[in-house]
């Protein structure tokens, strides 16, 4: 488990001692650290390690919370949507401003800060548990069921939340259908225009063909990029919902989804389960390959046109 370590270099000795403790408790723990003295061009090596990392472990203190260099490292993890775990070096209770999730008006003061952070506060033992479980935290820790709650109310909440998961799947399918239609239409229009130009032998037809072979693929590649990102976002959202559903089921008579997953895992055996999200991402990838081929043809036509 590759963990990028964020801290103030003045606290290196304390951090090093803590990392040694992690390594004795976690066989797969691999800390990624920068040299003790940062050079002027430290951003490049840091970015390389951040991309390799599975998560960030941030040792927060009053000094590190004010550091622009620390902010830069945290912003990269937020951008790449990788988990950030904060361990407090002292009694300091604040955070770096970049760790606060802002609402649509950019106002963090009106929000419950403790539940709207890009990072999760943990102690050493809890972090070891996460690392040993490949960063899969037990979401049931976050589910609070009041003792006096009516079981019927819990069941209604469960059914309502289950419906939101089905709605996400439905919206994702609608998004994929929309992008398939748009991309198919783009390719059809391009092929139709090229066929008409060829049949009618229009003036400047070759230049028109070249322009079309540039314009359509560029537009198509932008669409495919957005398409893949949306499918991935829906997949992440639904995966989170399934974890919440699984946690809620622990307070119900029968945990249907956990049993279903166990049966599916046993049936597959050594064969790896391929998620719908991963399969759906292949479709925009295939369209992208087609667009790249058209761009290559456009480049060849441009060269021959110039010569």
Q: Sorting pLDDT into bands at 50, 70 and 90, what band is 36? A: low
In the block, tokens 């230049």 appear at: 207
- For range 131-159, the mean pLDDT: 65
- For range 243-251, the mean pLDDT: 78
pLDDT at position 149, please?
65
Q: Tell which wins on pLDDT, 100 or 291.
A: 291
145 in any annotated domain: no
101 in any annotated domain: yes
The Cα-based distances of 169 to 14, 231, 258, 263, 279 in angstroms read 47, 10, 19, 22, 14
28 in any annotated domain: yes
Q: Sorting pLDDT into bands at 50, 70 and 90, what band is 251? A: confident
Indicate whether 128 and 23 sit together in one domain.
yes
Q: Tell which wins on pLDDT, 145 or 47.
A: 47
Q: Tell which wins on pLDDT, 65 or 260.
A: 65
Q: Sorting pLDDT into bands at 50, 70 and 90, what band is 264? A: low
pTM (predicted TM-score): 0.55
CATH number, domain containing residue 26 = 3.40.50.10140
Indicate whether 159 and 298 sit together in one domain.
yes
4 backbone dihedrals φ, ψ, rounded to 5°? -80, 130
48 in any annotated domain: yes
The Cα-based distances of 194 to 107, 191, 296, 301 in angstroms read 52, 5, 16, 13
Residue where a domain terminates, one of 114, 137, 160: 137
pLDDT at 79 over 80: yes
In the block, tokens 């993890």 appear at: 77
pLDDT at 243 over 60: yes
pLDDT at position 219, please?
92
Structural domain including 242 reads: 151-306
**What is the CB neighbour count within 10 angstroms for residue 131?**
22
Taking the C-alpha atoms of residue 254 and residue 63, their distance in angstroms, rounded to an integer, is: 49
Indicate whether 28 and 61 sit together in one domain.
yes
pLDDT at 96 over 50: yes
- For range 228-243, the mean pLDDT: 84
Taking the C-alpha atoms of residue 65 and residue 185, their distance in angstroms, rounded to an integer, is: 51
pLDDT at position 241, please?
82
pLDDT at position 184, please?
93
Q: How many independent structural domains does the chain possess?
A: 2
């Amino acid at each position: 488990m590759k963990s990028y370590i964020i801290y103030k270099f003045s606290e290196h000795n304390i951090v090093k001692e803590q990392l040694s403790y992690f390594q004795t408790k976690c066989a797969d723990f691999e800390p990624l650290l920068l040299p003790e003295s940062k050079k002027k061009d430290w951003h490049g090596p840091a970015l390389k390690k951040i991309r390799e990392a599975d998560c960030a472990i941030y040792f927060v203190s009053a000094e590190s919370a004010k550091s622009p260099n620390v902010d830069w490292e945290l912003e990269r993890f937020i951008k790449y949507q990788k988990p950030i775990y904060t361990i407090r070096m002292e009694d300091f209770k604040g955070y770096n401003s970049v760790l606060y999730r802002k609402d649509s008006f950019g106002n963090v003061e009106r929000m419950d800060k403790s539940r709207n952070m890009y990072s999760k506060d943990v102690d050493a033992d809890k972090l070891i548990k996460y690392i040993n479980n490949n960063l899969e935290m037990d979401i049931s820790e976050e589910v609070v069921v009041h003792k006096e709650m009516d079981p019927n109310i819990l069941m209604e909440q469960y059914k309502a939340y289950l419906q939101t998961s089905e709605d996400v799947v439905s919206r994702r399918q609608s998004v994929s259908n929309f992008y398939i239609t748009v991309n198919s239409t783009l390719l059809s229009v391009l092929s139709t225009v090229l066929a008409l130009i060829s049949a009618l032998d229009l003036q400047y037809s070759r230049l028109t063909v070249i322009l079309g072979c540039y314009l359509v693929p560029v537009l198509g590649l932008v669409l495919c990029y957005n398409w893949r990102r949306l499918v991935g976002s829906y997949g992440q959202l639904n995966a989170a919902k399934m974890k919440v559903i699984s946690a809620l089921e622990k307070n119900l008579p029968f945990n249907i989804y956990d049993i279903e997953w166990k049966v599916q895992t046993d049936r597959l055996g050594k064969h790896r389960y391929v998620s719908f999200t991963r399969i759906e991402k292949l479709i925009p990838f295939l369209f992208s390959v087609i667009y790249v081929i058209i761009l290559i043809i456009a480049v060849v036509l441009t060269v021959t046109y110039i010569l």
